[in-house]
Amino acid sequence: MSDKKVQPLNLEEGVIELLKVQAEDNDRSMSAEANRILKKALQKT
């Protein structure tokens, strides 16, 4: 994985950014996935 624009502060941020891009194609499933990952990321801090 190489950085294209800005290096994310952590892996979860990068994943969420990818999910946001993909969410334009299939909104519901990707939003659910992003929410799941976001909850996991928030539990770590």
* Domains of the chain by residue range: 11-44
SS (H, E, C) the chain: CCCCCCCCCCHHHHHHHHHHHHHCCCHHHHHHHHHHHHHHHHHHC
Token output for 43:
């539990």
pTM of the model: 0.35
Each residue's pLDDT tens digit, 1-29 = 555 666 556 678 778 788 777 766 666 67
pLDDT at 12: 80
Label residues 6-45 b or e (16+ Cβ within 10 Å = b).
eeeeeebeebbeebeeebeeeeeebeebbeebeeeeeeee
User: How long is the chain?
Assistant: 45
